[in-house]
Amino acid sequence: MIWYFSLPIIFLIVIVHFLKDITQDILKIHTFLDLLGNVNEDLSVFPPFIRQIIVALGFISIGIEAFLIAAIPKVIKNKESSKLEKYVIASLLFLVIYFLSVILMDPRYRL
């Protein structure tokens, strides 16, 4: 039950982050979304192959956010467990793990 109540909030967070990714990382446009911050991960400590993987995962995360923007309203409307709901959960887990790992690569947030 909590899952269905949290989905609209998750949906709004995903939309805002998706717009922030598009404007900040792809278009390099300064908007009010810049006030939410920007993680500047330090990839210089990794070998080139690992850097490429991390950058690729960043692009994959944008695709996953686009998927979630389309899928979450369908899951909310359906109100019953489905394969799509499992994909949404898996996508959210990927994003949480990816975002936490990238945040930890930012020198400002190192433990």
Question: Could you list the pLDDT tens digit for every one of the 111 residues in the chain?
Answer: 788 899 999 999 999 999 998 988 889 888 887 777 777 778 888 899 999 999 999 999 999 999 999 999 999 998 777 899 999 999 999 999 999 998 888 887 766
Query: What pLDDT was estimated at residue 25?
Result: 80
Q: Is 93 exposed, middle or buried (0-12, 13-18, 19+ CB in 10 A)?
A: exposed
Q: What does the angle CA 9 – CA 11 – CA 13 come to, to the nearest 5 degrees? A: 70
Structural domain for 75, as ranges: 2-109
Candidates 52, 59, 70, 48; CA nearest to 98 is 59
**Cα gap 1→98, rounded to integer Å:** 26
Number of folded domains that form the chain: 1
Cβ(76)–Cβ(8) under 8 Å?
yes
Token reading at 9: 């909030």
